[in-house]
Amino acid sequence: MKVAVVGVTGLVGGVMLKVLAEHKFPITELIPVASARSVGKQIHYKGKDYTVVSMDDAISQCPDIAIFSAGGNTSLEHAPRFAAVGTTVIDNSSAWRMHDDKKLVVPEVNAHVLTEADKIIANPNCSTIQLVVALAPLHKKYGIKRLVISTYQAVTGTGVKAVQQMESERNGTDANMVYPHPIDLNCIPHGGNFGEDGYTSEEVKLVNETRKIMGAPDIRITATVVRIPVYGGHSESVNVEFERDFDLDELRTLLEEFPGITVQDDHENNVYPMPLFSQHKDDVFVGRLRRDFSNPKSLNMWIVSDNLRKGAATNAVQIAQHLMEHKLLRQSSEILNT
């Protein structure tokens, strides 16, 4: 496979290279792509140095796959250009997620929707990915009626400048303020931009993307997004109201047997998911499973995952692996020759 990584010098782009190597993705030719100011820089991948190229150079090489992590405007402008030369684009921005004609995919949940005709595939928001992985087996068995979600999101989800703000505050040096308030020793209930209804864009993403991925437009969902001063690993407190009642032991087994989930649920020994221990791992960690005694047929659960890996890079690579394994990639060279 000839693979382009767009936004390769960014936070997610670097993790993307690590995941591609760890998953032994069969790259015969790597094309690292970044903005004009990074063209000519060197990146390292599997013992070899590569020169970062421009978008135009990458498109002219007709890669089989282009994995984007370069922002929504970049994706809107350039993803169709890659698709036009036969490249299958997997986009990590929010640009295409809610387009009716674009698939929004978490492989463990809805990879079956993908076809060879899908040339631009959307990677969901990091918080949505871990949420739907944990909910998918439960929805299939019990039917989800309503979700109340509170997220506790790492600064890496905002980007490298947010990490620098937190580190500057910890070091007592002048900080370039990415957030409207200090983030170290603080929690900021603000993710994205506020709408007229008081909800933020990150909260709206959780609602809309969850419904789309799970094919369940009628699930009632409300969300509150909070940014917390940790480097990596998003956490979510989720209250789930089901259509049908559940047995807690059976529910725990469903989670344990579902691909991509690790259950950590032993409160007697203080075993539960935490962001510190989710870092650099691909799984979604689930724990604090308990019946909600205040509401019939309802469950409380705690979900944690590395937002740069499963929440971004790993999910994108898994989409690419699915396309390859199910022969849904028509190589761009074939398209150009027809």
H/E segment holding residue 325: helix 314-325
Spatial neighbors of 125 by CB under 8 A, at least 6 apart, are 94, 97, 202, 205, 206, 209, 311
**Strands 298-305 and 284-291, bridge-based pairing:** antiparallel
Q: Are 311 and 279 in contact (CB under 8 A)?
A: no
Q: Are 104 and 122 in contact (CB under 8 A)?
A: yes
Spatial neighbors of 151 by CB under 8 A, at least 6 apart, are 127, 191, 202, 206, 223, 224, 225, 226, 234, 235, 236, 237
- Catalytic residue selected from 62, 78, 139, 234: 234
Q: Where are the beta strands (DSSP E) in 140-260?
A: 144-153, 220-227, 234-242
Strand-by-strand arrangement of the 298-305 sheet: 220-227, 144-153, 234-242, 298-305, 284-291, 261-263
Helical ranges in 40-156 per DSSP H: 55-60, 72-84, 107-110, 126-142
Our answer to whether residue 126 is catalytic in this structure is: yes
Place of tokens 């990458």: 58
* First-to-last C-alpha distance (Å) of the chain: 19
Spatial neighbors of 286 by CB under 8 A, at least 6 apart, are 134, 255, 261, 262, 263, 264, 265, 273, 301, 302, 303, 304
- Catalytic residue selected from 62, 126, 139, 322: 126
Our answer to whether residue 326 is catalytic in this structure is: no
Which of the residues are catalytic?
126, 234
